[in-house]
A and B are shown apart, each in its own frame.
Chain A
Amino acid sequence: MALLTLLAAVTVGVVRMRNLFGVVVLASIYSFLMASLFVALDAVDVAMTEAAVGAGVSTVVLLATLHLTGSMEYPRPRKAYLPLFVAFVTGAALVWGTFSLPPFGTADAPIHQHVAPRYLSESIKETLVPNVVTAVLADYRGYDTLGEATVVFTAGIGVMLLLRGRRRQSAGRTREEHGP
């Protein structure tokens, strides 16, 4: 509960702040709070990823971007009521959706009835891997994990195409400008 309160406070800070450097730092703090929340929920794998990617790597990348663009946000020309309304309705729909979920942590929730018992009872016998999460990710759900790896690959290729390609072009342009 304390973590959730801090999360809400950080979110308000991110929305209200005009200095983007502060926003990046706050976003990093937000990721660390999320990681702590995941640890509290016993999802250590997700917590590790969140702490390393959300708080570490993405903060560095955002800071590098700020170095290129400057760190003050322009004041918004007018109040944006329509996006506020859309966000409010979406949030209300999501909260409304949680009412029909089974209570948190119940063993007889539908998601625990389908294939999870088989994974839990058979995975060590079938794969010799004591960590059920790894067995499910890499073996039973191998296609999904291959898809995830492909997503990461695509993201990397996209960034490299966008940033590396443009740099060469702009270098050529400056050479033209400064040339004889």
Chain B
Amino acid sequence: MKLDLILRVVIKLFLPFILLFALYVQFHGELGPGGGFQAGVIVAGTFILYAIMFGAHAAKRIVPQRLVELMVPLGVLIFAGTGAAAQAFGGNFLDYAVFSHDPPHGRELGIFLVEVGVLITVSGTMIAIFYAFTGRGRS
């Protein structure tokens, strides 16, 4: 336990920056490389790293299993809901142009919402798979 002190300290220092980088990839995805998928796996990687170092119980206190499993369908619902909302506004499914009087602004908003949905589903699924594997234990 004492031997991994350096690892623990370094990881604790790194975690906020990894999470910040994930947010950067998410919200900067319109300008630079990246987007929901990439940000989602980086978010998941952050929490999995935390779980490896400090144990799955500590990680489950931050992101409970129920929350993670809720995130899996929630993201898809946000994505599909954005599409359905476009229909409700009078456009086609996933045609974001109707969200605003100025069609390009509507598209920008639609892309943002859809990317948020992707982020939630991808990060939720990755952490849920990790929890499912670690929760088994050797019996």
Contact = CB atoms under 8 A, between A and B. Distances in A.
B48 A163 contact: no
A147 to B, nearest CB: 10
B125 A57 contact: no
Nearest to A162: B132
Contact of B105 (A125, A128, A131, A146): A128
A65 interface: yes
A48 B136 contact: no
Given A131-B29, A134-B30, A163-B133, A174 B76 contact: no
A57 B126 contact: yes
**Secondary structure of the B contact surface, majority rule:** helix
Contacts of A153: 72-73, 75-76, 121, 125
A78 to B, nearest CB: 31
Nearest to A56: B45
A45 B83 contact: no
Interface in A5-44: 44
A142 interface: yes
A163 B34 CA distance: 31
Interface string B74-115: 011001100100000000001010000001110110110011
Interface residues of B, number: 54
A159 interface: yes
Interface size class of A (residues with CB under 8 A): 35 or more
Contact of A52 (B45, B130, B132, B135): B45
B134 A64 contact: yes
Nearest to B124: A156
B76 A170 contact: no
A61 B105 CA distance: 41
A7 B75 CA distance: 35
B105 to A, nearest CB: 7
B33 A60 contact: no
B38 A138 contact: no
Contact of B115 (A126, A130, A138, A174): A138
A6 to B, nearest CB: 24
Contact of B83 (A49, A56, A142, A167): A142
A142 B44 contact: no
A138 B130 contact: no
A84 B126 CA distance: 34
A133 B136 CA distance: 39
A53 B126 CA distance: 9
Given A126-B104, A159-B132, A164-B135, A146 B48 contact: no
Interface string B34-57: 111110011011001000100000
Interface in A159-180: 159-160, 162-164, 167, 170, 174
Contacts of B25: 48
Contacts of A137: 35
Interface of B: 25, 29-38, 41-42, 44-45, 48, 52, 69, 72-73, 75-76, 79-80, 83, 94, 96, 103-105, 107-108, 110-111, 114-115, 117-118, 121-122, 124-126, 128-130, 132-139
